[in-house]
Amino acid sequence: MAYRRVKKLLDYGAAVRLISPEVLPEIEEMLLADRIQKTAYKREFICEAFLIIAVTNNPGVNRQIRLLGS
């Protein structure tokens, strides 16, 4: 799911910042090609972001991200 969302955002010209300890090989290719940026989490990213998409397999983490963005 994360790969499809990142790819679609890139198709529309978005600047994508990925915050994840692990990535799929397809996303790793995007990182190596400098199509997206991977970084450690900083709280100010939530305030600066136009759009936040939480794609984890942990409902509790997804809920925390949603609450931080509201």
The pLDDT tens digits for 10-60 are 999 999 998 888 888 999 999 999 999 988 888 788 788 888 888 888 888
DSSP-derived 3-state class of residue 18: strand
Output the pTM of the full model: 0.71
What pLDDT shows up at residue 34? 92
What pLDDT shows up at residue 53? 85
Of 39, 38, 41, 48, nearest in space to 69 by CA: 48
What pLDDT shows up at residue 26? 92
What pLDDT shows up at residue 54? 82
